[in-house]
């Protein structure tokens, strides 16, 4: 991912946290940065390794899980329940509330693409 876009996304994430009265701590930023920089979904344990190898920061797995819960609550990441992995939300910099997200996962390389679906009504079903 583009470093400028990563920085913009981190700034957008900080702004959203401030607006909701939450704080994006340095460790939360590291975990979010790891997800922003990855084109694949990552598990908590993969994020532990990434933080250790890329940022020289040791974060215990339980802390990473708590951080991921926080980031989910702030609508900054999505959990892919089927794979028990996480991806950064592609709408971090949006000022509006976005539609329902759908995730396309490549069966070969595991890259993830987030797309938005329109709102469904009872007649659509």
We report the CATH number of the domain holding residue 73 as: 1.10.10.10
Domain-located, residue 82? yes
Domain-located, residue 80? yes
CA-CA distance, 36 to 2, in Å (whole number)?
9
Domain-located, residue 99? no
Cβ-proximal residues to 120 (8 Å cutoff; 6+ apart), any chain: 100
More confident residue, 103 or 14: 14
How high is the mean pLDDT of the chain? 86
Query: Percent of the chain having pLDDT more than 90?
Result: 54
End-to-end CA distance of the chain: 36
CA-CA distance, 33 to 15, in Å (whole number)?
15
Look at the chain and report how many structural domains it folds into: 1
Domain-located, residue 72? yes
- Provide the residue range defining the domain that includes 88: 3-94
Does the pTM surpass 0.75? The reply is yes
Residue-wise pLDDT for 9-59, tens only, equals 999 999 999 999 999 999 999 999 999 999 899 999 999 999 999 999 999
Domain-located, residue 36? yes
Domain-located, residue 28? yes
Residue 1 has pLDDT above 50, yes or no: no
Domain-located, residue 114? no
Which pLDDT value is given to residue 125? 47
């Amino acid at each position: 991912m583009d470093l400028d876009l990563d920085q913009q996304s981190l700034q957008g994430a900080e702004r959203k946290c401030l607006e909701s009265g939450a704080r994006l701590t340095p460790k939360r930023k590291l975990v979010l940065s790891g997800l922003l920089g990855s084109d694949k979904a990552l598990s908590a344990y993969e994020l532990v390794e990434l933080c250790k190898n890329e940022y020289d920061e040791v974060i215990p797995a339980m802390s990473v899980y708590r951080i991921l819960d926080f980031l989910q609550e702030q609508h900054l990441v999505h959990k892919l329940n089927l794979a028990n992995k996480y991806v950064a939300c592609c709408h971090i910099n949006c000022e509006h509330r976005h539609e329902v997200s759908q995730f396309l996962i490549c069966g070969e390389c595991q890259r993830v693409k987030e797309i938005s679906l329109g709102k469904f009504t009872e007649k659509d079903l």
